[in-house]
Amino acid sequence: MNEDFARTLSLLRQEKGESQRKVAQALGVSQALLSHYENGIREPGLSFVRRACDYYHVSADYMLGRTMNRDGSVIDAGELYDASTEKSSLRGSIFATLQKKLIVNTVSVFYDLLGKTGDKRAITAAANYMSVGLYQLLRCYHRASGGNDGFFALEEDAFALDGASVVMKKAELQLIRALRQHDNLPELSAEFLAETYPGLSQSVNQVMHNGDTEIRAVLEG
């Protein structure tokens, strides 16, 4: 197996909110053995993997970290449409276009930095954080547009419990822990950005400025 399996096995149990004892009993192993599996100390056999996939309703590819989709479908990055290259097909106000460019450019820089670490944990954590943030905004738009409740798999009552904030904080912690394993990360500075990303540094600086301004206004308000 690999470390992705151990991490996913543990995260799925925590997500389900069940104890190791209860899950171990359901999967037909001892609590101690399940603990070893979750911590990567021992590798399970295929029969256990199959039972775990059935129990958590995910595919083996997801358990093994080969795809981020629980149903096992694989997204090929080369096949995804890249809207960041579009200049005119997505119409909107000038202000909306400006804000989109600031965000897209900054995300591009951030993922380039993460990509250079080669750390899948850091990349996944950042993706989870941003995805859930966008998910919340889409739900706001969906609610305002009068869309039907069936569009999202998570019911409105469940969403109202603010699990999204918990997921984002968890992703932030996972990102921090992953990045701490790297001793050679380049220092993020105005000089570094201007030299490494000359065409994008202005966007990153503006996004950081906006963040500083908004947070300071809340803290001092």
Under the banding of pLDDT at 50, 70 and 90, the label for residue 17 is confident
In the predicted structure, residue 1 carries a pLDDT above the cut 60? no
Closest among 37, 48, 49, 42 to 6, alpha carbons compared: 37
pLDDT, greater one: 67 or 89: 67
Contact of 63 with 52, CB cutoff 8 Å: yes
In the predicted structure, residue 82 carries a pLDDT above the cut 70? no
Under the banding of pLDDT at 50, 70 and 90, the label for residue 134 is very high
Q: What is the pLDDT of residue 84?
A: 65
Structural tokens at position 51: 């039972």
Q: What is the CATH number of domain 3-63?
A: 1.10.260.40
Contact of 220 with 213, CB cutoff 8 Å: no
| Ranges 48-57, 60-69, 204-213: which has the least confidence | 60-69
d(CA 68, CA 62): 6
Q: What is the pLDDT of residue 88?
A: 52
Closest among 122, 104, 97 to 182, alpha carbons compared: 122
Under the banding of pLDDT at 50, 70 and 90, the label for residue 89 is low
Residues 2-25, mean pLDDT to the nearest whole number: 87
Going by the DSSP 8-state scheme, the letter that residue 159 receives in this structure is H
Residues 98-110, mean pLDDT to the nearest whole number: 91
Contact of 117 with 179, CB cutoff 8 Å: yes
Contact of 55 with 63, CB cutoff 8 Å: no
Write the CB contacts of 121 (distance below 8 Å, at least 6 apart in sequence). 7, 174, 177, 178
Question: Would you say how long the chain is, in residues?
Answer: 221
